[in-house]
Chain A
């Protein structure tokens, strides 16, 4: 954009001079550059959220008679939601998925990798980081294709296990395990990077002094390192929980939520209701529940990091 302006901005601009024109100028000075962002955010982020609050209370669908005249149905969608065994099933699966793949899997594995990598040679770190991050960089559908070939009945894992007599069709015999493992694989890099950054801030002289005092590796970890990176751990947990809560593509491409509803987490159930059966009102009620849960986690996260804005 080549539009120029002649008024130099003032750094400590406080528009409290009382004069309305000046105040307007002061407002314009931040409103103009901030404007496009505000417009986009209001239309495409705030708008849909408010919209979902509205349609969650209607019987909106995309086909049939309700698609031409949807009407207000009160709390009917929510009553249906909490009596819907498929929704409750999806909710439990989401819970297992988040705990298994994020809180336990990615978080612990990321911390472990970051810890044992500390102080190793550059080449070694490069190789390990490279492989772990590669799993994170591949698009989710490709990740699903990788895991599909790995876990399928005639896949890589069964070739390796074949001699032990353990081979089976993992995607059907253990679909939750399959998506949890795949998501650990894909997401560990994030936790690893967060913890590597946090650990680099732990003063090494403190650890060395403790070692001289005869503290074992485990004691040093529990009493020095972990308390020092406490806040990183908590924020990391919040962030990966939020990401995992919304996970869709990987599960959809890998198991499609199946077999049956055995790996149908809430985002997948919501997808089925809203985009396959076109129950937009019902789907929005589910979306709203997810948004509220996300908002709670997000607020806890904000509290934790006490960010300086």
Chain B
């Protein structure tokens, strides 16, 4: 009888564990019907990808009988999405088959063997050869030269400003700052003459993660003479040099002179929403260093329709530090549709990727998000630029744009940059001290002092 009891307990334990193991493995191939799980991000203020994928799912399922698309949205901002994706990707059972992927993370996942190369499938897809420029194709190219994702969007970054605020501050529009000093001068004028208005907003804290590094810091660093995080010729990471310290100095000026958002907002993960949904429409913000997509919220289909924005809001390139050639700076990233190396039905998976990135769906995505279109036929489509007078400006910034050194260790380097920026935001360190801390931590982060070169 005791044995019966032990046995029953064991049975319970086994059942529990079995249930546990089976927890998330959905019946991917049950009954011969195929299922492709698609992971992507969504948010109450950013519902666009959700719309595109639902449209693509309908199209795809109509054309491919017997295959279902299981859409798995992740609620939250980019940082939440990166975390969730990385965790699900840990095991073949939980990994989604197809997912929206930020280009800067592609190399890390290629190194870990999480992504499937798409070259074989791309050969059979005529659009790849005809509709994507060579520069766009690089977006998700691995260190091995293979392609690991089809771009759904690309972007550029620059300055947005509120013309009403500028009028109050007595600054002439169109505003064309030539140097960082011009930007600071404008911000100081706003602070002096437009009380209650935040002169300048940028992302500069850890809660904004990669957005702080890219929209904030790199937009400054890559506009300093020789400023870069990674030296391509030496193949080494660059420890802080003058450009690095000066970039931190710019952020330091913003916060020490109270030209930026107050601390609570600088640390608010929803800062981007505040800028687009509240501060710009209510003329509470002068200048915003941000991406091409900010205006998407103001479209009739956006989360905060604001038809007057085309008159109230201006846009201009972020100048280089002292007006060095080419005079302006921009950073580009973007998102691709990628496929897991664990995906069982890769052919079907790729077919879905090509459905999401076809002209119709890319157009829907580009028009609603304000991101730049990676496809030539979409860029040429009249509806693409119809109600967005800024789109040509942002597209043209591609001529001065830079790309991140998206190597495997980049996310960790980015985290160190955020630490330095945050010290500027709170004022806990002086710029040169924070730059030194960055230089000190770099060797451990990138895998040894031999992978680091002194900054210029």
Interface residues, chain A, CB within 8 Å of chain B? 1, 3-6, 28, 32, 35-36, 39, 62-65, 67-68, 80, 85-86, 152-153, 169, 171-172, 256, 258-262, 275-278
What residue in chain A is nearest B107 (Cβ atoms)? A64
B303 at the interface (CB under 8 A from A): no
Q: Is the CB of A260 within 8 A of B86?
A: no
For B409, the chain A residues whose CB sits under 8 A away are 64
Chain A nearest CB: distance from B265 CB in Å? Answer: 10
B112 beta carbon closer than 8 Å to chain A: yes
Chain A, interface SS category: loop
Q: Roughly how many angstroms separate A169 CA and B205 CA in the complex, as a whole number?
A: 18
Question: Within the complex, which residue of A65, A259, A276, A277 is in contact with B112, where a contact is CB–CB below 8 Å?
Answer: A65
Residues on the B chain within 8 Å of A275, using CB: 83
Given that A3-B4, A3-B5, A169-B264 are known contacts, is A260 also in contact with B423, CB under 8 Å in the complex? yes
Out of B13, B79, B108, which one reaches A39, CB within 8 Å? Answer: B13
> Is A276's CB under 8 angstroms from B1's CB?
no
Bound Cα distance A258, B263 (Å): 10
CB-defined A-B contacts under 8 Å, sample of 7:
A62-B86, A63-B109, A64-B111, A80-B444, A169-B264, A259-B266, A278-B86
Q: How many residues of B contact A (CB 8 A)?
A: 40
- Report which of B2, B86, B437 forms a contact with A5, defined as CB distance below 8 A: B2
Q: Chain A residues with Cβ under 8 A from B305's Cβ?
A: none
Interface residues of B in 246-286 (CB under 8 A from A): 262-264, 266-267
In the complex, what distance in Å separates the CA atom of A257 from the CA atom of B86?
23
Q: In the complex the two chains form, is B415's CB within 8 Å of A277's CB? A: yes
Q: Which of B108, B263, B411, B425 has the most CB of A within 10 A?
A: B263
Pair B428/A262 contact, Cβ less than 8 Å: yes
| Chain A residues near B89 (CB-CB < 8 A) | 63
**Are A260 and B426 touching (Cβ within 8 A)?**
yes
Cβ of B15 within 8 Å of any chain A Cβ, yes or no, is no
Contacts of A258 in B (CB 8 A): 205-207, 267
Nearest B residue to A68, CB-CB: B112
Nearest Cβ on chain A to B1's Cβ, whole angstroms = 5
What's the nearest-Cβ distance from chain A to residue B435, in Å?
Answer: 15
Q: Are B9 and A172 in contact, with the CB atoms below 8 A?
A: no
Interface residues of B in 360-384 (CB under 8 A from A): none
Task: Other than A68-B113, A172-B263, A256-B267, give 14 A-B pairs with Cβ distance below 8 A.
Answer: A1-B8, A28-B2, A32-B2, A35-B9, A36-B9, A63-B411, A64-B108, A65-B111, A65-B408, A172-B262, A258-B207, A259-B263, A259-B266, A276-B79
Is B167 among interface residues, defined by CB-CB distance under 8 A? no
A residues near B206, Cβ cutoff 8 Å: 258
Docked CA distance A171–B262 (Å): 12
A67 touches B428 (CB 8 A): no
* Assembly CA distance A172 to B427 (angstroms): 12
Residues A169 and B262 in contact, CB atoms below 8 Å apart: yes
Residue of A nearest to B269 (CB): A256
By a CB distance below 8 angstroms, the chain B residues around A5 are 1-2, 5
Tell me the minimal C-beta distance from B195 to chain A in angstroms: 17
Per-residue interface assignment for chain B, residues 10 to 24, with 1 indicating a CB less than 8 Å from any chain A CB and 0 otherwise: 000100000000000
* Bound complex: CA A68 to CA B4 (Å): 42
Complex Cα–Cα for A197 and B130 (A): 81
A6 cross-chain contacts in B, Cβ below 8 A: 1
